[in-house]
């Protein structure tokens, strides 16, 4: 099996290693994409698409709940004070954008590794005629949160998390067999430069705009991260606050009713989780496409090892980059830095990638488009789904 051992980069990649020519990677980037069941994302360059029925205040509100959601007794009142509207209107507008599918949910965003879970990005080579069936089989695993078809010989890309104390490679071996992949590559994070999706709903961010990488957007990553000691209350709180926040006047008290503690105690728990870096932030998660961000692309860069400490953070500093990591290379995969870019159109993504190349001087890169979305959810921690899957596929 091909997913355990790390290889070394080759000088070329059979014509797929690029120099200022992202369109050459694994097929054309333009043209229609057929919708045959799962969500599809066409990378055809074109005019930016706007979400329907959003006014300027909706967009400001969506930025506010993505970037700085207040962990206070009456958070919707606090947001309303910031925006100059009353609490009832904030709640009504959030309900409306949820119903429209623009906002997926408001909840705690936890750091998978800090909670003791192991995780990695995985790339697989799948027979194109069976890729839909392979993706469906993989999606049954509760630790697969994202699963996409991309325009490359490695055509199926998914993120996998495994609970504390379980063997990551044992899980991946099962998934490799289930998918029918000819090759499966494990691409864990070697260094995290940035993680944090913030979609500017106002549309005012330029392709080459910069943004400070905040502390919670660059959590610590080590191969030997300790499994934290969680109390029963910690686990129960995590189970509850990873779910969607209610639209009541005192929504944290609603969480508390489920946990068996007060709203003030929930707020204290969340603040403690953040101090211990188990929780990265409490914020909204958007539906990118419904929010008007129709394109997303993974830019992968052949950055020489001696330049990584300088170039990795520089790439992370672009506002349109939501994720930036150093990952391992293999004989057929020479790319050391991964950047995820979201745009209202493919041209927006291409413009950001070109701006990154221009600033850093890295001209050996590839641009992989999300052609089909098979799964996009948050990992749900400490649920029975994990035990059920493990018993079914790995035994007791």
Residues marked as catalytic:
146
Pair type for strands 144-150 and 191-195? unpaired
- Name 377's Cβ contacts closer than 8 Å, sequence gap at least 6: 145
- Name 386's Cβ contacts closer than 8 Å, sequence gap at least 6: 142, 143, 163
Q: How far apart are CA 39 and CA 41, in angstroms?
A: 7
Tokens of 331: 């004989």
Burial class (CB in 10 A: 0-12, 13-18, 19+), 305: exposed
What stretches of 12-54 adopt beta strand conformation (E)?
A: 39-40
The DSSP code for 333 is B
Contact 97, 239 (CB under 8 A): no
Please list the residues that pair with 295 across neighbouring strands. Answer: 343
Contact 102, 52 (CB under 8 A): no
Contact 143, 161 (CB under 8 A): yes
């Amino acid at each position: 099996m091909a997913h355990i051992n790390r290889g070394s980069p080759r000088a070329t990649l059979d014509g797929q290693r690029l120099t200022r020519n992202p369109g050459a990677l694994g097929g054309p980037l333009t043209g229609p994409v057929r919708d045959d069941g799962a969500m599809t994302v066409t990378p055809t360059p074109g005019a930016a698409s706007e979400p329907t029925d959003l006014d300027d205040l909706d967009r400001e509100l969506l930025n506010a709940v993505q970037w700085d959601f207040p962990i206070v007794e009456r958070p919707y009142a606090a947001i309303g004070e910031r925006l100059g509207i009353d609490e009832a209107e904030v709640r009504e507008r959030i309900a409306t954008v949820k119903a429209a599918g623009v906002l997926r949910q408001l909840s705690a965003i936890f750091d998978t590794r800090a909670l003791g879970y192991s995780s990695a990005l995985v790339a697989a080579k799948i027979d194109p005629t069976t890729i839909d069936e392979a993706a469906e089989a993989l999606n049954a695993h509760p630790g697969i949160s994202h699963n996409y078809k991309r325009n490359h010989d490695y055509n199926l890309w998914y993120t996998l998390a495994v609970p504390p104390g379980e063997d990551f490679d044992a899980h991946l071996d099962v998934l490799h067999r289930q998918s029918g992949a000819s090759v499966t590559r494990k691409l864990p994070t070697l260094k995290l430069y940035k993680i944090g999706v913030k979609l500017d709903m106002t549309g005012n961010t330029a392709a080459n705009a910069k943004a400070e990488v905040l502390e919670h957007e660059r959590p610590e990553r080590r191969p030997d991260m300790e499994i934290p000691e969680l109390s029963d209350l910690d686990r129960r709180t995590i189970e509850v606050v990873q779910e969607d926040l209610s639209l009541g006047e005192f929504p944290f008290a609603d969480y508390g009713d489920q946990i068996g503690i007060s709203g003030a105690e929930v707020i204290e728990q969340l603040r403690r989780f953040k101090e211990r870096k188990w929780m990265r932030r409490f914020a909204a998660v958007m539906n990118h496409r419904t929010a008007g961000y129709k394109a997303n692309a993974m830019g992968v860069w052949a950055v020489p090892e001696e330049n990584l400490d300088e170039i990795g953070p520089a790439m992370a500093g672009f506002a349109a980059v939501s994720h930036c990591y150093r990952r391992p290379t293999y004989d057929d995969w020479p790319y050391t830095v991964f950047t995820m870019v979201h745009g209202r159109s493919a041209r927006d993504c291409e413009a950001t990638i070109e701006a990154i190349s221009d600033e850093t001087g890295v001209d050996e890169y590839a641009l992989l488009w999300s052609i089909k979305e098979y799964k996009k959810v948050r990992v749900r921690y400490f649920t029975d789904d994990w035990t059920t899957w493990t018993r079914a596929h790995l035994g007791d």
